Each structure stands twice: as C-alpha cells, then as structure tokens.
Amino acid sequence: MLGHTAAKLITTPIISTQIRCLSVLSGIREQIQNELQLIKDAGTFKHERVITSPQAARVTIQGRDQPLLNFCANNYLGLSSNSEVISAAKSALATHGAGMSSVRFICGTQDIHKELEKKISTFHQKEDSILYSSCFDANAGFFEAFLNEDDVIISDTLNHASIIDGIRLSKAKRLRYKHMDMDDLEMQLKDNQKSRRRLVVSDGVFSMDGDITPLKDILFLASKYNALVFLDECHATGLFGKSGRGTEDYYDVIGKVHIINSTLGKALGGASGGYTSGPKEIIDLLRQKSRPYLFSNTLPPPMVAGASKVLDILMRSSQLTEKLASNTKQFRDKMTSLGFKILGANHPICPVYLGDARLATGMAEDMLNRGIYVIGFSYPVVPEGQARIRVQLSAVHSSEDVDTCVNAFAEIGKSKGVI
C-alpha cells in the first residue's frame, strides 16, 4: 500500500500531464478548424454524398426518395454490380477466405493471386505482372524501386497525383515536359543522353480533360533516344480501344509500351487493387524492392476473384466496350450539335466545358434536381476559369438514359444562356 504522500507524488504529475495534453490538442484543433475554414472560404471544400445502393446506372442516395441516373462514376463497363463478378467474389470468399492477414512474401500469396497476375499479363501482352492494393500504391512503389540517382524521369505535367508522389520518392533526376508537348519531350530526352536510364511517364488518358496522350509519338521519341515508356492506364484499361486493352489498343500498338500501371478499381470491377505489368526482370525487382508490395497486405481473395472474372468477361467478348463506345459517341455528337463544348476526344470522360465555376456548380445542382447525378469541377482541381461538369458514360447506360441526360443539359443550358 502506498502512503498518502507517495500516492500524491504519483497522481499529481499524471493529472498535470493530462491537462497539458488536452491544452496542446485544443490549440491544434483550433489551427485545423482555421485551416478547414480557409478551404470552405475558397469554395473548395468537398462534401460526400452517401449512396445507399450498389454502384450502378441508377443509384439511391441518402436524403432523396427517387433514384438518380448516375453519370459520375468510373464504373465504365457497369461491372461493379455484375452478377457473374459478384458470384465469383462470393465463391472465393467461401474457398479462399475473407483475407490473408499477411503481405505477399510471408504467407500472402494464393493460387488465385498468381492466376490473376497471369491473366493481366496475357491481357496486356506483357511478360509478367505484380498486384498491389491500389494503383496509387503501384505508382508509389515503382519509381523508387526501379530508378536511382543515375537515371532520369521525364513526366507529363498533368500526370495523376499518385505518379507525382511516386516520382518524389525516387532518387532519379526529375523533369517534367509540357502537357502532351512532343517538342518539349524531345528536347529533354536529347539533353539527358548521359543518364543510365531514361523513363518517359504519362497517363494514357487524362482524367480531367478526357484527352489522350500521343502514344505513337512518345514511342517514336523513346526509341530514337533510347528511353523506356511508362503509362498509367487507369482510365483506359478494360474500356478503351477496340478490345478494351487501353491506349495501346486505341493506337493499335498493343504490347509496345514497356511498363503499364493500372487499377482494378474502375472498369475492371470497381472494387480495389492495382498492378504493374511489364518485362519479367522489372517485375522480379519490384517483388524484391517495392515498398507498398513488401510492407502492405495482400489483396483479399474476393477482390482477386472478382477482377479475374472481369478479365474473363473482357477476353471472351467486346460487347461491353462496343456499347460504351456507342454511348460515348451518342452523347458527344448530340451535345456538340446542341452547341456545348465537350473536351477530350472519343473517350467516355466527357467534360462539358463552362468556364465559370459558379455556373458549373449551379448547373450540376439543377441536373441533380432533375434526377441526374453529375459533378462540377472547378479550381484548384482544374485551372482557374476552366470549370466544367464532368460526365462519364458507362456501358450499362441505355440509349434512353443518354438521351435523358442530354435533354436535361439542353433545357438547363438554354435557361442559363450557355447554348
């Protein structure tokens, strides 16, 4: 038993430490509240709508009785709620469990992980592939593992945030070329001939503008200046090109890009997961050195089986990619003939260009009130004065769904003097 004095000596510092901790936290809370207020004042605070149905052409959201026609998901092929994909995921849950409780190299590699990697390689016509928990992780884990201070990365200025972050982690010399500017790229390739390795890095499709990287020119310059090409195909894999094999397919150069990073979280079932696909030695090296692969958990079996089923569906028929291409053409043609400016080319990301941020937000709100779910994008997500509503088509939209969306744009656009 402690005497009265001893107990006092022990409890006093504990109480005063607790009080100090609380006052430190309350100071920090205030700083963060100020920071959040600045974000709100700048009009860039992001609110999240709560969906109460599966991801699909029509979704229900909290606070609204009627379902909304959904034109803002990356569910390009509508496979997020496809019955074959769901039943493949369910049976993997039964046969392989809910999760692996391990990273790959300790005891987290199942037969289905190896099968999926093989299917991805076949799909992209590459030698090997490696799975990650997301494409963000694949991008975070690639550059640092593959390149060092003797190498140079030349990256498109509008590449995705995860590429930018991944490149920051690498010790290679980091250069950027102006968006899709081949003269600038050539100049930088020419200037860096002494580096051990040169890597040109680009998104296949840029998600804010729906524009497509000039892949043939990039491949030409890469071969002229002895460089490798890395493509992020998140908005292309499964949906773009005749057979859905992405930007390589669109330009008819399947198999020519050296390294492809992509996601399982958009067209390929929409759950989660990413991968790198490329030459065997590079993939072998990533398995040894890539930190998100080495130090993060394996993809859970239901996700692996779901993505594997999606690849089976894609490799047996091009019906979904054809339907998506036809919906995209219908939307782009009709909107353009109404007088709207649609950015990008031939891709289901169809940004309806408006310029003014308030106009974009107001029109997106009016569309929502007509039962159509679209989102307005403004600064800083896109450059100032270049606000737009980004519409994304899906293969599960019917032709009537597309017309409903176009008609709503027509009515609202006329009432606001846009067309």
208 counts as binding ligand PLP under rule CB under 6 A:
no
Task: State the Cα–Cα distance between residues 41 and 170, nearest whole angstrom.
Answer: 35
Catalytic one of 124, 235, 323, 397: 235
Closest CA to 129 of 292, 277, 305: 277
Q: Of 265 and 376, which has the nearer Cβ to ligand PLP?
A: 265
- The CB-of-180 to ligand PLP minimum distance in angstroms stands at 15
Segment lying near ligand PLP (by CB under 6 A), choices 21-29, 135-143, 361-369, 400-408: 135-143
**Two tokens at 301?**
């079996």
Catalytic one of 207, 290, 296, 378: 207
Partners of 200 in beta bridges: 154, 229
From the list 203, 209, 211, 249, which residue makes contact with ligand PLP (rule: CB under 6 A)? 203
**Two tokens at 47?**
């609110």
Segment lying near ligand PLP (by CB under 6 A), choices 38-46, 65-73, 128-136, 215-223: 128-136
136 counts as binding ligand PLP under rule CB under 6 A:
yes
Do 258 and 277 contact (CB within 8 A), yes or no?
Answer: no
207 counts as binding ligand PLP under rule CB under 6 A:
yes
Q: What is the pairing mode between strands 68-70 and 58-59?
A: antiparallel
From the list 96, 124, 126, 160, which residue makes contact with ligand PLP (rule: CB under 6 A)? 160
348 counts as binding ligand PLP under rule CB under 6 A:
no
Task: State the Cα–Cα distance between residues 166 and 139, nearest whole angstrom.
Answer: 5
302 counts as binding ligand PLP under rule CB under 6 A:
no
Segment lying near ligand PLP (by CB under 6 A), choices 49-57, 99-107, 232-240, 310-318: 232-240
From the list 128, 232, 248, 401, which residue makes contact with ligand PLP (rule: CB under 6 A)? 232
156 counts as binding ligand PLP under rule CB under 6 A:
no
124 counts as binding ligand PLP under rule CB under 6 A:
no
Do 125 and 255 contact (CB within 8 A), yes or no?
Answer: yes
Peptide bond into 380 cis (omega under 30): yes
216 is catalytic: no
Task: Report the Cα–Cα distance between both ends of the chain, in Å, rounded.
Answer: 85
- Where does 35-75 show beta strands of DSSP type E? 58-59, 68-70
User: CA distances (Å), 353 to each of 159, 208, 302, 387, 389, in order?
Assistant: 20, 11, 39, 7, 7
96 is catalytic: no
134 counts as binding ligand PLP under rule CB under 6 A:
yes
Half-sphere exposure of 161 (CA within 13 A, CB side): 4
- The CB-of-139 to ligand PLP minimum distance in angstroms stands at 6
What mask, x for binding ligand PLP by CB under 6 A, covers residues 55 to 94?
Answer: ----------------------------------------
Do 201 and 166 contact (CB within 8 A), yes or no?
Answer: no
DSSP 4-35: HHHHHHHHHHHHHHHHHHHHHHHHHHHHHHHH
Count the neighbouring beta carbons within 10 Å of the beta carbon of residue 337.
Answer: 9
266 is catalytic: yes
What's the distance, CA 380 to chain centroid? 18
162 counts as binding ligand PLP under rule CB under 6 A:
yes
135 counts as binding ligand PLP under rule CB under 6 A:
yes
What mask, x for binding ligand PLP by CB under 6 A, covers residues 242 to 281?
Answer: ---------------------x-x--------x-------
Catalytic one of 160, 266, 334, 397: 266
Residues labelled as active-site residues: 207, 235, 266
Chain residues binding ligand PLP by CB under 6 A are 134-136, 139, 160, 162, 203, 207, 232, 234-235, 263, 265, 274
